């Protein structure tokens, strides 16, 4: 039996107070690469355990998808006893991550100033909607609301559909990625200074940061983006095109690639046509070029054509549903689906040649590891029993 890889950040201990998506996604990235993640859940549990169907033994797939390789303890941080337990856990922690409303930890007497004084090496990361200051400081943030507020929806969709929400929680998950990057940067800096620091990642700033190229375009010409559906505002062809049995997305980044595409499609003269020779011309004359390209593509099936174009070094892919994606031979070859017992998930996309990511633990049941975790921090069986009896530690979810 092959033992799981220890991972690039094995030995890092993270106390994870976060719930829902951004924070748990961040800590799953760290967990996959070896960090010890102690997921501290409120007595009611992470609410995404209920965000289904589908479910596995009462836990929703939504929760299961972002909480592998973690251990769980139910702890009432609103109680003084719960905060006392947390303080003991932080004595041996490298990172604390939370997504409480800004000011909540201060109200409980464990705000960042107190944490910095008591644990000077601790990295404290907070994920929030808008941060703790400014006109929206402390306001709740939700992925779709941020998509609407930062312009993502106004740049997504067509004239027919109107502004459209992106079909995945892009802002939440990207905020988790930024938080992860921030934590790793702070750890790298700590190796030099010996000091921890406060790391803040907000949904609002993340939403703004990923609005490229629309913000860059606006700074240049002062025009908000139009609703162009699958069209790219700066490149063409870079869109969905109809083939005989489905749709293809083709992306062309420069004039040389366009000429190569035209040759591969059997119409090299299009590459020299003055309407299409340069990208700036193709953007202006996109409708005429679409007609030319689709007249060729509608004579071919989508997947074989895409394989042919990819083999020629040309960016193209069939527009597929998730069932076809997961059945793709490339997914199997790369080991992109990982399994353990009943669990299936998508492997970490960060690949190392030596310190590989691994699936060590399936997502935890609520407070599954409470006794073991408390034992690690020096609590006796009698003390654990008293914490459970007082409600400070919850072994079962309070509905």
Unique residue bearing structure tokens 């083939």: 243
Tally Cβ neighbours within 10 Å of residue 367: 24
Looking at the DSSP bridge assignments, the partners of residue 219 are none
Q: How far is the C-alpha of 258 from the C-alpha of 271, rounded, in Å?
A: 6
Alpha-carbon gap, residue 26 to 93, rounded angstroms: 17
CA nearest to 85, candidates 381, 394, 393, 398: 393
Residue 212 class from Cβ within 10 Å (0-12 exposed, 13-18 middle, 19+ buried)?
exposed
Helices 170-193 + 22-32 axis angle, to 10: 50
- 367 with 395: CB under 8 angstroms? yes
Structure token digits, residue 45: 């549990």
Angle among Cα 207, 239, 295 to the nearest 5 degrees reads 170
Cβ count within 10 A of residue 125: 26
Please state the separation of Cα 110 from the chain's center in Å: 28
Q: Roughly what angle, to the nearest 10 degrees, separates helices 302-311 and 255-264?
A: 130
Catalogue the E-assigned strands of 107-262.
123-128, 198-202, 238-242, 247-251
Tokens coding 365 = 């049941």
Instruction: Give the catalytic positions in this structure.
Output: 172
296-325 in b/e form (b: 16+ CB < 10 A) is bbeebebbebbeebeeeebebbbbbeeeee
């Amino acid at each position: 039996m092959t033992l799981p890889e220890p991972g690039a950040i094995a030995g890092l201990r993270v106390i994870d107070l976060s719930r829902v998506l951004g924070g748990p996604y961040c800590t799953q990235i760290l967990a996959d690469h070896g960090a010890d993640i102690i997921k501290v859940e409120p007595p009611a549990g992470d609410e995404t355990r209920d965000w289904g169907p589908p479910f596995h033994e009462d836990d929703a797939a939504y929760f299961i998808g972002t909480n592998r390789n973690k251990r769980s303890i139910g702890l009432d941080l609103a109680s003084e006893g719960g905060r006392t337990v947390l303080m003991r856990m932080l004595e041996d922690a490298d990172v604390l991550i939370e997504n409480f409303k800004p000011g909540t930890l201060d109200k409980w007497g464990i705000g960042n100033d107190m944490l910095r004084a008591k644990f000077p090496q601790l990295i404290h990361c907070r994920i929030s909607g808008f941060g703790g200051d400014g006109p929206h400081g402390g306001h709740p943030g939700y992925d779709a609301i941020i998509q609407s507020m930062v312009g993502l929806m106004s740049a997504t969709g067509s004239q027919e559909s109107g502004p459209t929400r992106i079909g995945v929680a892009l802002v939440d998950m990207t905020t988790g990625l930024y938080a992860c990057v921030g934590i790793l940067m702070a750890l790298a800096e700590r190796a030099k200074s010996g000091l921890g620091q406060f790391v803040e990642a907000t949904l609002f700033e993340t939403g703004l940061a990923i609005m490229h190229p629309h913000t860059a375009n606006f700074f240049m010409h002062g025009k908000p983006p139009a609703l162009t559906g699958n069209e790219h505002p700066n490149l063409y062809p870079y869109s969905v095109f109809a083939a005989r049995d489905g749709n293809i997305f083709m992306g062309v980044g420069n004039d040389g690639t366009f000429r190569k595409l035209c040759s591969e499609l059997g119409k090299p003269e299009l590459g020299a046509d003055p309407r299409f020779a340069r990208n700036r011309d193709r953007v202006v004359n996109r409708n005429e070029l679409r007609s030319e390209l689709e007249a060729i593509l509608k004579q071919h099936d989508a997947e074989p054509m895409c394989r042919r174009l990819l083999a020629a070094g040309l960016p193209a892919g069939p527009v597929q549903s998730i069932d076809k994606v997961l059945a793709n031979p490339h997914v199997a070859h790369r080991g992109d689906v990982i399994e353990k017992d009943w669990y299936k998930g998508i492997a970490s996309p960060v690949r190392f040649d030596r310190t590989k990511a691994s699936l060590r633990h399936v997502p935890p049941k609520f407070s599954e590891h409470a006794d073991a975790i408390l034992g690690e921090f020096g609590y006796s069986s009698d003390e654990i029993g008293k914490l459970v009896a007082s409600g400070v530690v919850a072994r079962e979810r309070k509905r």
